[in-house]
């Protein structure tokens, strides 16, 4: 259960301010006088955590036994997603190599430390630290390239695999940032939902190519609208993104969908628009032309 207190900011020296932490909170965190803490500032709030607590997942030691390749793949993927760095794998060497080839389709980077003479090996996930805005900009570009690839050849190819690797990397980063307190909870939830909608958009376009569905006028308009929202939901500033979402919703309102594919894309575009508009409400709280028009 969370607690909330209003405290005064005190002056403790030239250029230094302090806020007194209630003793019961410090005891609940296991803090004693003289202990070090992490202070995280995200531009709008300060978060305090015990020093070193963010490394718990990375330091975790787990083992995955390979009885069935698909089950082992999901366990390794879950380990990566949870922020674990090193995973021991119990398997014969040939099965391990096959498993690693599949793992490379979903995990951006890892090192396989295997021994043909042993049945215990190790997978070390080696993500390079990157800022969330940089990851989102790179992901935005990959989404469009994956969509172009599918539309050109009719099925997912190398860019789709790259998309899946970046998609999982982003989800891991969002989860880790939210756990650290460096990413607002509302924003973390919105971004995770946005990634799911973007992934579903690509999957719907893949089914269009696989099932050889002709893209007629109404379907093309809805598809273009959904594509326009990808950048808005991932990288554009609130004002620009809201303008895109508002325009897209007006366009979608005029399109009568008569196929399942059109309805699916329209649903995704609508939900992505709602996330953008929700972000606008939080940011402006809310006095803007979209929610508080002048009479």
Q: Is the residue at 244 inside a domain?
A: yes
Cα separation values, 108 from 104, 196, 239, Å: 7, 18, 33
pTM, rounded to two decimals: 0.73
Q: What is the pLDDT along the chain (295 residues), one digit of tens a residue?
A: 467 788 888 888 777 888 888 888 888 878 888 888 877 766 667 777 777 655 555 555 788 888 899 999 999 999 888 888 889 999 999 999 999 999 998 888 888 888 899 999 999 887 656 788 888 988 999 999 999 998 888 888 899 989 998 998 998 889 888 877 778 888 899 999 999 999 999 998 888 877 777 777 888 888 889 988 998 888 778 888 888 998 999 999 888 888 888 899 999 999 999 999 888 888 765 566 666 555 4
Q: Are residues 93 and 197 in the same domain?
A: no
Q: Is the residue at 2 inside a domain?
A: no
Which pLDDT score, from 0 to 100, does residue 268 have?
92
Whole-angstrom Cα distance, residue 203 to residue 150? 10
Whole-angstrom Cα distance, residue 97 to residue 112? 9
Q: Which domain holds residue 109?
A: 57-125
Indicate which CATH number applies to the domain containing 49: 2.10.260
Single residue among 98, 125, 152 that ends a domain in this structure: 125
Whole-angstrom Cα distance, residue 189 to residue 171? 10
Which pLDDT score, from 0 to 100, does residue 99 have?
93
Q: Are residues 44 and 183 in the same domain?
A: no
Cα angle 234, 291, 174 (rounded to 5 degrees) comes to 25
Tell me the Cα Rg of the chain: 23
Q: Are residues 63 and 46 in the same domain?
A: no
Q: Are residues 43 and 67 in the same domain?
A: no
Q: Is residue 50 within 8 Å of residue 31, measured between CB atoms? A: yes
The domain tally of the chain equals: 3
Q: Is the residue at 179 inside a domain?
A: yes
Q: Are residues 31 and 145 in the same domain?
A: no
Q: Is the residue at 255 inside a domain?
A: yes
Q: Is the residue at 291 inside a domain?
A: no
Q: Are residues 165 and 257 in the same domain?
A: yes
Q: Are residues 22 and 61 in the same domain?
A: no
Axis-axis angle for helices 132-153, 185-210 (nearest 10): 10
Q: Are residues 179 and 255 in the same domain?
A: yes
Q: Are residues 269 and 157 in the same domain?
A: yes
Q: Which of 102, 55, 101 is nearest to 82 (CA)?
A: 55
Q: Are residues 85 and 152 in the same domain?
A: no
Q: Are residues 179 and 143 in the same domain?
A: yes
Q: Is the residue at 24 inside a domain?
A: yes
Single residue among 102, 125, 148 that ends a domain in this structure: 125
Cα separation values, 14 from 11, 34, 36, 165, 190, Å: 8, 21, 22, 48, 40
Whole-angstrom Cα distance, residue 78 to residue 93? 22
Our measurement of the distance from residue 68's CA atom to the centroid of its chain's CA atoms, rounded to an integer in Å, reads: 28
Q: DSSP readout, 121-152? A: EEEEE-PPP--HHHHHHHHHHHHHHHHHHHHH
Q: Is the residue at 150 inside a domain?
A: yes
Q: Is the residue at 241 inside a domain?
A: yes
Which pLDDT score, from 0 to 100, does residue 288 have?
61
Single residue among 125, 146, 180 that ends a domain in this structure: 125
Q: Are residues 227 and 121 in the same domain?
A: no
Indicate which CATH number applies to the domain containing 78: 3.30.110
């Amino acid at each position: 259960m969370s607690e909330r207190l209003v405290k005064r900011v005190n002056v403790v020296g030239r250029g230094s301010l302090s806020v007194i932490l209630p003793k019961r909170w410090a005891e609940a965190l296991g803090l004693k006088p003289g202990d070090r803490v992490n202070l995280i500032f995200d531009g709008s709030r300060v978060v305090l955590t015990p020093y070193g607590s963010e490394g718990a997942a990375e330091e975790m030691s787990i083992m995955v036994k390979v009885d069935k390749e698909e089950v082992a793949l999901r366990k390794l993927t879950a380990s990566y997603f949870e922020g674990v760095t090193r995973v021991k794998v119990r398997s014969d060497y040939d099965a391990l190599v096959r498993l690693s080839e599949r793992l490379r389709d979903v995990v951006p980077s890892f090192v396989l430390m295997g021994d043909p003479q042993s049945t215990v090996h190790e997978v070390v996930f080696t993500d390079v630290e990157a800022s969330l805005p940089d990851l989102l900009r790179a992901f935005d570009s990959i989404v469009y390239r994956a969509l172009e690839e599918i539309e050109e050849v009719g099925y997912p190819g190398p860019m789709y695999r790259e998309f899946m690797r970046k998609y999982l990397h982003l989800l891991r980063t969002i989860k880790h940032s939210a756990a650290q307190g460096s990413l607002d909870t509302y924003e973390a939830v919105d971004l995770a939902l946005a990634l799911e909608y973007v992934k579903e958009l690509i999957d719907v376009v893949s089914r269009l190519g696989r099932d050889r569905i002709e893209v007629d006028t109404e379907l093309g308009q809805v598809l273009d609208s959904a594509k326009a929202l990808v950048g808005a939901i991932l990288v554009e500033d609130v004002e620009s993104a809201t303008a895109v979402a508002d325009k897209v919703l007006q366009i979608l309102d005029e399109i009568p969908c008569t196929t399942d594919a059109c309805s699916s894309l329209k649903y995704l575009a609508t939900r992505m628009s709602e996330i953008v508009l929700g972000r606008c409400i939080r940011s402006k709280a809310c006095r803007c032309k979209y929610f508080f028009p002048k009479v």
